[in-house]
Each structure stands twice: as structure tokens, then as C-alpha cells.
Amino acid sequence: MSEEKKNNEEMTDDMASRSALENARDSGVSTAWDRYEQQKPQCNFGTEGICCRICNMGPCRIIPGRQEEGVCGADAATIVARNFVRMIVGGSSAHSDHGRGVAQTFLEAAKGEAPGYEIKNEEKLKEVAETFDVETEDRDINEIAIEVGEKAVASFGSQEGELEFISRAPEKRKDIWRRNGVVPRGIDIENVEAMHRTTMGVDQDYKNILKQGTKAALADGWGGSMIATELQDILFGTPGQPEKGGKKDAVKFDANLGVLDENMVNLVVHGHEPLISEMIAIAAQEEEIQEYAREKGAEGINISGICCTANELLQRHGIPVAGNFLQQELAISTGAVDMMMVDVQCIMQSLERMLPDYHTKLVTTTEKAKMPMAEHIEFDESQPLESARELLKAAIDNFPKREGVNIPEESEKALAGFSHEFIKYMLGGSYRSSYWPLNSNIKDGKIRGVAGVVGCNNAAMPLDKMHVPMVEELIANNVLVVQTGCAAIASAKAGLMQPETALEKAGDGLAEVCEAVGIPPVLHAGACVDNSRILNALAEMVNVGQENSRLNIGDDVSELPVAGAAPEWMSEKAIAIGHYFVTSGVYTVFGGDFPTVGSEVFTEYLFDEIEDIYGATWDVAETPSEMAGKMIDHIDKKREELGIGEGAERVLFDMDMRREMQE
């Protein structure tokens, strides 16, 4: 075995990615893994959160036993708290700015000022209208949509009161938030105030600093992200739900680099913005565009995605996903990508430095995110189909310029579209749509509990090597897994999102439920903003128990047998997501390093004392089995507290068991 082959195996178990890594190395192109190795040793002060660059007297660092304060006197707890909250603000701002763009386009569509966009889910529009206290009876759909759009846009600038979607949380959870003074007034105000408080010389009480960070995080989960998800569902259709009539069903898709097609124009959409990619999906079906591709020698157009733009498209249209975050460079290294169209978030600048070695056209589409060497084609939301056609023709024009193609064979089939509405439908049907079968099976012990597994990839860890084994261990222990983002793509590539997977890899109880309902043991719930779907689902689980005491598995989210995890996190968005889950009552485990360990006082507060306030804590784990074990232990603890039976004996995974499952 060559040293290069061994290195590829250390980077990932995914055969498609290993093949593409060899393509890149053969071309002399560096990847994120190469650059990560070049960065070693990384700065421990930064890793532990004890480096402060907030003012120009610094940068200051804390050296325990030698340098306990910065120039201004800030101690480790203050510095770590400020850095942690600024990460929350960065993540919350990313999701919420996405939500703002959706709300503005939604309003324009309702007014008829954005041709190509339309209201596709009138039922959900009325549900959201109720949340915004908008009257719906005897009113025109567009009139309702305009008022909903106006109120959604106003949520960003609101200066007082409570965000509207807070009303969806269980009553006990709302009481906890109100009692502790952390209910967000608006989206923008909480992020701006957090930045002010963490400026040099302002807030210096680590508990008070985190309190404002909690407001910013909740403004993301129950504000910006939820607005984005709900309005996108109304505009583009709710996953699993037909637009008008027809059969409700999950969406089939293929996942991994093998979805690229040697004989077709390959346009890869990458980022997080469905407003653009939805129009690309529509325009690509037009006969004029297809004929243009044939004139250039291609058999047609193949749209695929990377990251959460991929998740947005696959959950509504079944458009294949080429990979998750760390596969963006690998897609280009196949030589088959004629255009990579990028919008916002998680886009590596290294992509543009690959352009001299490959024919790929790299195109930025929004004023918010440009790259010096990429071509910029601004997406005009007032003429979305025209903009989409322009981008598609540019991709087609690049097809004849290919020099060599080396596409890995590997791809896996999967199911997506498990919005919280569709999960209710799958569990109860058209007339008894409810979460009661889920609660009932948890109470009876067939399903041990529920885990939300979300987040990114990280070059500091082998690709998907935390995600996949951990999810396999959870389902083997009868834990139903719900996923979003790059974590969901990891499981799709591993074949864990197929119904037959339940019989092959899930515990007996979970397998029985999955077979009866017709679902996989791992449910794809969407993009990273769609973590708000999980919040809604958790609230539904509590509400079912409030309506029927026989189905009660907790009066608050913190009492449910559930847990969350981000095994390979890397983004500030993950910190924002993690914190709004913890403060919503969900015990949450992150993999790898954690950016607060430089302050023992602050970390103890975050990992222990905060449970007395919100009923949940943060935690960390270094291995997949350790992470799965902590989550299962927490779920069993909650089951015991609810008096619904002792937890079953845990199935521990060793390498022989993993190999057997992969055969």
C-alpha cells in the first residue's frame, strides 16, 4: 500500500472521496486536508478561546499561572464568553440574513413583483398567518401573503415585545425563557446588542454576556431560521407535501460524487440560497435549454448540489447531491463540473485557485459573496427565470472545453422530504395526522428516543468518520435519528436513509416501527436553517402529551427522551444552532475541540450549571461511540425520570461489528 493511499484512507472511508482526492493530487492541487496539515501546530490560545483581539491593545492571551489577565484586566471567563457569544452572533446573523432575503422575496412575490415565484402551499400560508395573527377568513390568498410578508420582514427590525414564532414553543419552555429574560424582542436588535456588550470595556460578567448570547441564538432558531424555512415551504412547496392534490410522499435522490454525468452538462449549485437554485431547477427543464445543451454535444443538463443548496433542492425535487462541505473541491477535481454556481456560506476560496487546472467555470451570484478570480453573474430576483437561463447557458457553453473526466462510480439512493408536517402525515395519515404514534412507541419502548444529528464537516477530522458510525450506533440502539445539513448528506452517502436500512442496521423495536410506517431509521429534514423543523417537531411531541395524558412523555422539551449532536462541526452557525437547542431544552454534544475550554469557570457554567436554568447542557465527545453513548445515557435518564421503563442494554460497537454492517 502506497503512502498516498494510506493518507487517503485516513482522511475518509468514502470511496468516492478517496478517488477524487487522488485526482486532485495527480493534478498537483491542494485540498482542505493538505492545508490543514500545513497549519499545524494550530494556536492553542485560539482553540481554547483565550485569545482576545477585540481592541488594539492586544492581541492578548491568557497563560494559566503566568498571564491571567489581558491588558484591560479581562480574565479568561470574560474573554472566552465574549468570543463564544461573538460566534453565536456570527452564526445567527448568517441564518437570519438568509431569512431576511427570503422574507423580502416572499413579500415581492405576494405583490406580483417577482415573476416566477408563487404561493405553492396555501394551507401552510394560513398556518403561518395564524402565528403572525393575520386574519385569513374570506380574504384573497395574495392579500394574506402580503400581510404575512410584511410581518415577517418587520420581525427583523422589531425593538420590543416577543418574536411571533416564540408562541409555538411549549408553555413551560416559554415560562422558562420569560422568567430568565431571554425571549428575543427582534432578530437584528439581539445580535447588535450582543456585539455591543462584547466590545472592550462593556459587559464583563460572563453569565450576563452569555444571557445576551442566548437571546441572539433564540432569535436565530425561533426567528430568522424559522422564518426562512416556513416561507420557503410556502413559496417552493413543503417537502413531502404536494402543491395541489396528488399523493404525499418522500422524495428519492442519489448522493455522492458518482451523480456527476460524463455525457451531460454538470452544473453544481453550492451554498445555502434556494431562491436562486429553485429557478435553476425549473429553467433546466425547459426544452429550449435542453436543446441548447444538445447543440453543444451534451445529452442534457445534470443539476446537482453541494452543502445546503443541495439539501434544499433534493428535499423538494429529488435533484441529486454531489457531496457535503469537504467535497466541494473534490467535485471540481473530477474534471466533469462545467459550472459551479455559488451563493452564500461555506464556500472555500480555494475553489478559485483550482481554476487554472480545470475547465470548470466558477460563478458567484450575489453581491454579498464575491471572489476575486470567479466570474460574477448577479442573480436578478425581479427576473429570476431569465437569470437562471443565463447561468444555464453559460454552463452549457463551457461543456465543449472539457479535457479529461474521472468521475467516481459511488453513489447511494436515499429518501428526503421529512418536514415535521410530513412526519405527522406518515405517522397518522391524512385524517389522523399526529405525533401520537411516535410518543406511543417511545412510551412503549420500541423507540428509545429521538436524536437530532446536524452540522458540518471539518478537515480536522476524517470526512464523515464521526457522523456515520455514531448514527449507526444510535439506530442500532433504537434511537430514531433526524438530520439536516452536511450531517444528513453524510448518512445519505452511507446508505442510511433507505427504508430497508431499518431491517439491516436498526434495533428490533425501531426496525418494527420503520417497517410499519415505511420510513428509514434516519430522516432527512432539510438544510441547516431547517433545524427549526426539529424545534417544531419537539414542540409537537410535548403538545400531543398535553392533549392526551396517555401519550405524555414530558411537559417540556427538556423532559423528552431526546438529544442533539454536531459530530464534525466547524462553523459559527453550528455554535448558534447548538446554543438555541440547549436553551430550548435539548442536551447537545459536539465533536472535537470546544472553544471555551480555556476558561474552566465558563465551561463549567456552560456544561453543568446552565442545566439548572434551561434544563439542558452542552457536552463534548472525542469518538463516535463516546458521543452515541452520552446521548443514549441521557435518553435513558429521561426515560427513567418519566417512569416509562428502564433503558435497554446498550449495543456497543467495535470494529468487527462495523465491518459486518458494511458487508
Q: Do the domains at 76-236 and 417-662 have one common CATH topology? A: no
pLDDT on residue 13: 85
341-to-301, 314, 347 alpha-carbon distances in Å:
14, 16, 10
76-236 CATH pick, 3.40.50.300, 1.20.1270.30, 1.20.1560.10, 3.30.70.20: 1.20.1270.30
Least Cα distance to 624 among 464, 498, 517, 481 occurs for 464
pLDDT tens track for 369-417: 999 999 999 988 888 899 999 999 999 999 999 988 999 999 999 999 9
Q: How is domain 257-401 classified at the CATH fold level? A: Rossmann fold (3.40.50)
Asked whether residue 43 is marked as a ligand-binding residue, the answer is yes
Per-residue pLDDT tens over the stretch 7-20: 777 788 899 999 99
Least confident window among 427-431, 541-545, 640-644? 427-431
Q: 532 φ, ψ to 5°? A: -65, -25
In this structure, how many other beta carbons lie within 10 angstroms of the beta carbon of residue 158?
Answer: 19
Q: What is the pLDDT of residues 584-627, one digit of tens each?
A: 999 999 999 999 999 999 999 999 999 999 999 999 999 999 99
Q: With a cut of 70, say whether residue 89 has pLDDT above it.
A: yes
What CATH number has the domain spanning 417-662? 3.40.50.2030
Domain map (residue ranges) of the chain: 76-236, 257-401, 417-662
Strand 361-364 and strand 339-342: the pairing is parallel
Please give the model's pTM, rounded to 2 decimal places: 0.94
User: Where is 411: in which H helix or E strand?
Assistant: none
Mean pLDDT over each residue of the chain, to the nearest integer: 93
Cβ atoms 422, 152 nearer than 8 A: no
- Grid look-up 453569565 returns 207
Is the pLDDT score of 328 beyond 90? yes
Average the pLDDT over 148-164 and give the result.
Answer: 97
Is 308 known as a binding-site position? yes
| 307 labelled ligand-binding | no
| 272 annotated as belonging to a binding site for a ligand | yes
- Residue 52 marked ligand-binding: yes
